[in-house]
Amino acid sequence: MGLGQRVLLWPAMVLLPRRRRAMVRAWLRFHAIATVRMARVFAGVRLTTTGSLPAESCIVVMNHQSVLDIPLGLSLVTGPYPLIPTRDRYRRGIPGISPLSRLARFPFLSQGRTLSRAELASLTDAATQVARGEQSLLIFPEGHRTDDGRIGRFMRNGLRITLARASRPVYCVVADGMSHARTFADAFLRFAGTHIRVVVLGPYPPPSDDTHVDAFIDMLHQRMTAELDAMRAARGPSPGDAPPSPSVPSARAD
């Protein structure tokens, strides 16, 4: 991945700067689809997907169970490639992934309680691009992977900023079956034979004004939690599953 970016992609973008978005989109989709296919071919991973995303700019909210979530989410986005709010620690140090995140100009966040000026500017710029229809947004608002695969509370800053600025359809992607393979090491050792189920919910029209944003985020959390519980009930109990989540609004994390 890293060698291809340095040898092929960077020179091409320097020569054809107006084609940057198209080239980055093709590069991201190629690696995302290739990763998912390799998991299916070499590890016997089964993938069942219900629903789809439109070929237009949109906001995609996805739960976070495993390192495979990101290529899986990217493979579902068929419109403008999505910007993904990413932990700042991934900016450097991970071969292939760190350069690709910088190449795609993902906004990097420290996940603190308050945003720095640079983080706010980065998220605002991403939201503006989504509002113009130039990009999509793929966000994992939990911010981290839970131990049992249950949907945790949402960190709201990224969603608040985007929903306040971008009047784009909102979709939820709920994936299950990966909570036993949270890390890169787990992915190599424990993905074999996994059955991943994915359901796309929506579209949901964005809130009409800023005063409804938090209630809208609560609704997304509740819909996703209910869908995950329904998916687990339909397939029966599995080791590591937590009991169904209580039907209460998500805790607000600023």
pLDDT of residue 3: 63
State mean pLDDT over 189-194.
73
* Domains of the chain, earliest start first: 2-253 (3.40.1130)
Q: 203 preceded by cis ω (within 30°)? A: yes
Chain centroid to CA 241: how far? 22
Sequence-distant (6+) residues with CB within 8 A of 35 are 68, 71
- Give the C-alpha separation, 59 to 80, whole Å: 11
Give bridge partners of residue 197 from the DSSP assignment. Answer: 48, 176
Asked if pLDDT for residue 240 goes beyond 80, the answer is no
Q: Within a 10 A sphere around the Cβ of 187, how many other Cβ atoms?
A: 19
Give the pLDDT band (50/70/90) at residue 24. very high
pLDDT of residue 109: 92
Task: State percent of the chain over pLDDT 90.
Answer: 61
Q: DSSP 3-state assignment of 249? A: coil
- Give the C-alpha separation, 217 to 57, whole Å: 19
Dig out the tokens for 9 from the structure: 């992609």
